[in-house]
């Protein structure tokens, strides 16, 4: 069995890692952690991914990765990997897509050609841990010209359920484009700007998929699903429906069109490491109309496939433009 998710087939229309020679893989912008200590470590144990520089040949396993697609659910990211295999012409009877992180129950990771599909769990802390280790993985594998995209779900503000939002800027609960965390007891504030060219490229791809609405807007990132997002249906609630409506309408007036829990840390960390990053989320409900996600399961599944379709279309166009995916 070969390296998980790679293919050496030269058939027309298929991704082929052989199209990228070692020199061409290193010819672009190499992934570089914003931490000089990593380069001097004799061994780097990526504990939460069940990988290590001393036990795994990371360049051989991941050296051709160009797209890292992340999302909350392991099941959803496995489904996306299988979908990408079909879209890239790599799917065939008996094909297997093993969880590369099977040695841990923290995250799931699947590789299909140049696409790495990784789960990040719920919220900023879980996403941060995943990002630290995936960025280091990409560095050790000598990956270059990598794009990171979050594919997720969210609550909409003033949008119909099923709408897709490409994030223009991630903002906090006070509508400021910042990510704050405590480091050595001190408050550290980082900007949450996303790659605007990448966002525009995704929006251009959306014009090829008119069957669902896609908008470019601000995304509010919160640290909680219930009170942090102004819900009335949690175990705790200290405000009224009127308070909630005033807050959500203020967010809408500030340009926010959806709410989720990971975009700010993705923007801050990837930007610090010079990695282009985008966030593409579908709205499961309009929060101005209610708090609970009550659509039938089959409808929700269809909604969740929409950002996957958009990102898949983007990846195929990118690969076609570089000659690594032939028409």
Token pair of 317 as six digits: 């166009």
**pLDDT tens digit sequence for 54-110:** 999 999 999 999 999 999 999 999 999 999 999 999 988 888 899 999 999 999 999
The confidence band for 28, taking pLDDT boundaries of 50, 70 and 90, is confident
Give how far Cα 47 sits from Cα of 51, 61, 86, 261, Å.
7, 17, 31, 23
Reference 262, options 118, 119, 122; nearest CA is 122
Instruction: With a cut of 50, say whether residue 16 has pLDDT above it.
Output: no
Phi, psi torsion values for 58, nearest 5 degrees = -65, -40
- Give the up-direction half-sphere exposure of residue 15: CA atoms within 13 A in the CB hemisphere: 25
User: What was the pLDDT predicted at 27?
Assistant: 54
Instruction: With a cut of 60, say whether residue 15 has pLDDT above it.
Output: no
d(CA 301, CA 279): 19
- Cβ 259 vs Cβ 225: under 8 Å: no
Long-range contacts from 202-210, C-beta under 8 angstroms, 24+ separation: 202/166, 202/278, 202/280, 202/310, 202/311, 202/314, 203/166, 205/310, 205/313, 205/314, 205/317, 206/164, 206/166, 206/310, 208/313, 209/309, 209/310, 209/313
pTM: 0.91
């Amino acid at each position: 069995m070969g390296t998980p998710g790679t293919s050496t087939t030269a058939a027309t229309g298929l991704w082929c890692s052989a199209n990228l020679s070692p020199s061409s893989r290193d010819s672009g912008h190499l992934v570089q952690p914003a931490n000089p200590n990593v380069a001097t470590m004799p061994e780097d144990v990526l504990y939460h991914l069940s990988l290590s520089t001393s036990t795994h040949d990371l360049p051989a396993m991941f050296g051709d990765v160009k797209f890292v697609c992340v999302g909350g659910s392991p099941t959803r990211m496995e489904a996306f990997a299988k979908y990408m295999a079909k879209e890239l012409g790599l799917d065939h009877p008996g094909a297997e897509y093993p969880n590369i992180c099977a040695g841990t129950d923290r995250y799931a990771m699947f590789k299909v050609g140049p696409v790495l599909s990784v789960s990040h769990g719920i919220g900023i802390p879980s996403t941060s841990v995943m990002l630290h280790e995936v960025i280091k993985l990409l560095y050790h594998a000598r990956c270059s010209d990598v794009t990171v995209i979050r594919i997720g779900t969210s609550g909409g503000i003033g949008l119909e359920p099923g709408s897709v939002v490409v994030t223009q800027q991630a903002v906090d609960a006070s509508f400021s484009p910042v990510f704050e965390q405590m480091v050595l007891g001190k408050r550290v504030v980082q900007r949450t700007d996303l790659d605007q060219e990448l966002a525009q490229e995704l929006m251009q791809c959306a014009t090829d998929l008119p069957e669902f609405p896609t908008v470019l807007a601000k995304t509010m990132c919160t640290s909680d699903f219930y009170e942090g997002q102004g819900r009335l249906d949690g175990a705790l609630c200290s405000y009224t429906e009127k308070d909630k409506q005033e807050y959500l309408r203020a967010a809408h007036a500030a340009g926010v069109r959806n709410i989720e829990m990971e975009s700010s840390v993705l923007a801050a960390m990837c930007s610090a490491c010079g990695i282009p990053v985008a966030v593409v989320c579908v709205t499961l409900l309009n929060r101005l109309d209610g708090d609970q996600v009550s659509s039938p399961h089959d409808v929700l599944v269809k909604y969740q496939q929409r950002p996957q379709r958009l990102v898949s279309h983007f990846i195929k166009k990118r690969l076609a433009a570089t000659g690594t995916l032939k028409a």
